[in-house]
Structure 1
Amino acid sequence: MHTFIYARVSTSGQTTENQLLEIERAGYEADAIFADTISGKVPAIERPEFAKLMDTISRTRKPKRLIVSKLDRLGRDAVDILGSVRALEQAGCSVRVLQLGDLDLTSSAGKLVLSTLAAVAEIERDFLVERTQAGLARARVEGKRLGRPKVTNDDSVESIRNALSGGVSVSQIARDHGVSRATVIRVRDGEYAA
């Protein structure tokens, strides 16, 4: 059995040593180790080492398994984790997570755990959307202005237009008025109303 290990840490000030030691203590010996230093907010497939791992697994013909210390190493959320596990399973790779009692996520029990996680994640997303919509509705009733605050007013828009007509560069105008180049360009193109 070809054994792959994947580890991830969020910052360069952290190391994967504890994850690798935990996997070693569980009795697994790695044929290949892939480790990313990247935020957990990045989807798994967009992580450089995880992408290399997937490529290597897809080219490996003999039986294979991936070992991770914790479930969150496989993705940023339940949907991402499910996608990662499904892709690994389609490549003929079992997935073992030590945090879950060395559970193989491609087994029947593992699939049940993943399905439960996906259902919980979907409910959490629905609740978040409901809370957000309720908060926006309350803000509208209270007469609050929604969206990003305006960075300009009528006077500054007029000043920007005068500078543009005077031949001042977009970059210079943006610096002078403390706004982005995009704001100046929208004023120039008539797309911006103060």
Structure 2
Amino acid sequence: MTTFAYGRVSTAEQTTENQRLELEQAGYTVDYWFQDVGVSGKCPASERAGFQELMARIRKGETLVVTKLDRLGRDAVDVLSTVHRLAGMGVKVVVLQLGDTDLTSPAGKLMLTMLSAVAEMERGSLIERTQAGLERAKAEGKRLGRKPKTTEEQREQIKARARAGESPSVLSREFGVSRATIIGLRDGV
């Protein structure tokens, strides 16, 4: 059985050597080592060059070993997605931090189910925080969304000229906005 290992560190000044040594001290003979150096943990696993290379090479029946769960993704949702993808490929996934548990085994699947529940709660909390922030900003009178390309005075000019029959295409070019914006202003949308 072939063993793949993956390490990640956030800065170029750091090295993945400690992670590799930890895996070897745990009794793993690493056949293929992949790493990402200078890659933040905020970056999803699927966007990391070293991890992408690993995913392109690993096959059914092989094992992926990492020292910590956060090496498999940026958050619970990303980790869960990564482990499900690997399990679907028939790859055994071992995380030393979790007591050398294979996440594709029944006990590992139980851990993933709990992780999934945490991820769902995390998503719900994020949505709640975002909505609360938007409501607070509105209550403070802040304008949400992109800054308009035109001033209020220009919008009034556009409305008047469009309602007077001037072509939306001409107004669009003159004011640097889309025809849809001109038509929307004309029609009061």
TM range (shorter): 0.7 to 0.9
Change (3 A) 1:190 1:150: closer
**Residues 187 and 103 from structure 1, CA distance in 2 versus in 1: closer, same or farther, beyond 3 angstroms?**
farther
Task: Please state whether the residue corresponding to 2:52 is helix, strand or coil.
Answer: helix
Q: CA RMSD in A?
A: 2.7
Change (3 A) 1:108 1:191: same
Q: Provide closer, same or farther for how the CA distance between residues 130 and 35 of structure 1 changes in structure 2, counting only shifts above 3 A.
A: same
Residues 92 and 102 of structure 2 are in contact (CA less than 8 Å); yes or no, is this contact kept in structure 1? Answer: yes
The alpha-carbon distance between structure 1 residues 65 and 86, as it changes in their structure 2 partners (threshold 3 A), is: same
Residue identity (%): 58
Are 1:29 and 2:29 counterparts?
A: yes
CA distance in 2, matches of 1:134, 1:93: 41
> In structure 2, what residue type is equivalent to 1:144?
K
Match of 1:190 in 2: 176
Shift in alpha-carbon separation, 1:140–1:67, aligned structure 2, 3 A: same
What are structure 1's unaligned runs of at least 5 residues?
A: 158-185
Aligned length: 161
Q: Find the counterpart in structure 2 of residue 41 from structure 1.
A: 42
Match in the other structure for 2:12: 12
User: Is 1:133 the equivalent of 2:134?
Assistant: no
More deviation in 41-50 or 12-21? 41-50
Match of 2:53 in 1: 52
Residues 82-97 of structure 1 mapped to structure 2, 5 A cutoff: 82-97=80-95
TM-score (norm 2): 0.73
TM-score (structure 1 length as normaliser): 0.71
Which stretch of the first structure deviates more once superposed, 41-50 or 104-113?
41-50
